[in-house]
Chains A and B, each alone.
Chain A
């Protein structure tokens, strides 16, 4: 029980200190989980991160589940995950109410219009970063272009693209296997 509580609190702390997510939380995890608690080595953490990136879901959550389950099995994985989402639940719920009350003010609307511009730039930067690790050759570029055109112009559920792209990846590998 003490260990589970420790997992919960440690990952709640990681959640509070993560701004933005993704790679931003790697140094925090290194300090809390590797150096302070000794629950994983640097190499394991890098592995978890790599797998977290290519498994479904939020990377922070995936990494928390990994470390929690390594430490205390399934209850550990669930506890660490609850820990990492706990601060978001409290902070966002509190903030959302306040923002909803203020949102009719002109000054707040102008501020959000300004923030949206920034969000565009941040998404653009994130896409460039994803692009570097995702689009490495001509086949990958084709998948990108087809899905991009589809997602902009057609109203199809993103689930369809994900499944189709996964199958396409396997088909490409089969063709390559035959050519070898």
Chain B
């Protein structure tokens, strides 16, 4: 019963992904490897679409992955699965708002959780990098996709250091990269 499985997988993702939409990425990679519902390559494309369409990234990703795995019903089930733990947790937290924020042990747990969450997103980033620049595993400079590497450096400079472009919305860079990719034949 794929709907039940999808609900459960996304329920877990929603429960354990701490720190916003991109924190769901490591869970989705894990899901791709275990279930085979979609590939890591598809995931990278879904992320690109999710970043450049309206809606929070995490919700878009859940809808997209759900749709890819099991059609419209899958999209619905995955998205509802993702938000169910949030709704339950927030309802509980809202009742003890002040106590939650000031609790020493809650803060201590999150002190440990935040670097772990950052590390998992970084690790998921590494697999996207391998896929993008080497088509799977790092095989040295000879097999590096040079065009992609040059584009990456240009994007990095534009999104981090050049003043007028730094503040532009990511969708601008995504669309520009699509055009560059299509024209230069990546």
Tell whether B82 is near chain A: CB-to-CB under 8 Å: yes
Q: Given A65-B91, A74-B91, does the pair A95, B49 have CB atoms closer than 8 Å?
A: yes
- B83 near A112: Cβ-Cβ < 8 Å: no
Q: How far is the CA of A162 from the CA of B23 in the complex (A)?
A: 11
Docked Cα-Cα span, A19 to B175, in Å, equals: 14
Chain B interfacial residues counted at CB < 8 A: 103
Residue of B nearest to A163 (CB): B16
The answer to the question of A5 belonging to the interface, with a C-beta cut-off of 8 Å to chain B, is no
| A4-25, CB < 8 A from B | 15-22, 25
Chain A positions within 8 Å of B131 at CB level: 116
Q: Which residues of chain B have C-beta atoms less than 8 A from A148's C-beta? A: 119-120, 122-123
Considering only residues 46-84 of chain B, those with a C-beta below 8 Å from chain A are: 47-60, 63-64, 67-68, 72, 75-76, 79-80, 82-83
With an 8 Å Cβ cutoff, the count of chain A residues facing the other chain is 96
Residues of A within 8 A of B45 (CB): 99, 112, 115-116
The answer to whether A59 and B56 have CB atoms under 8 Å apart is yes
* Complex Cα spacing A170 to B110, Å: 9
Cα–Cα, bound, A59→B121 (Å): 16
Given contacts A55-B89, A65-B87, A69-B91, contact A114 B115 (CB under 8 A): no
Q: Are A123 and B128 in contact (CB under 8 A)?
A: yes
Closest to B90 in A: A65
Most buried by A among B22, B100, B184: B22
The residue from A16, A106, A121, A134 contacting B55, defined by CB atoms under 8 A apart: A16
One digit per residue, 1 when the CB lies within 8 angstroms of any chain A CB and 0 when it does not, for chain B 136-169 equals: 0000000000001001100110011000000001
Number of A-B contacts (CB under 8 A): 369
| Shortest Cβ distance from residue A50 to the other chain B in the assembled complex, whole angstroms | 8
A75-118 contacts to B (CB < 8 Å) = 77-78, 81, 84-85, 87-89, 91-93, 95-97, 99-100, 106-108, 110-118
26 inter-chain pairs at a CB distance below 8 angstroms, sorted by A residue, are A16-B55, A47-B101, A51-B93, A55-B90, A58-B56, A58-B59, A58-B83, A58-B86, A65-B91, A88-B60, A88-B79, A91-B55, A91-B60, A95-B53, A96-B63, A114-B181, A117-B186, A122-B159, A131-B118, A134-B115, A134-B118, A148-B120, A157-B30, A162-B16, A169-B112, A172-B111
Which A residues lie at the B interface, using CB under 8 A?
15-22, 25, 47, 50-62, 65-66, 69-70, 74, 77-78, 81, 84-85, 87-89, 91-93, 95-97, 99-100, 106-108, 110-127, 130-131, 133-135, 140-141, 143-148, 151-152, 155, 157-159, 161-170, 172-173
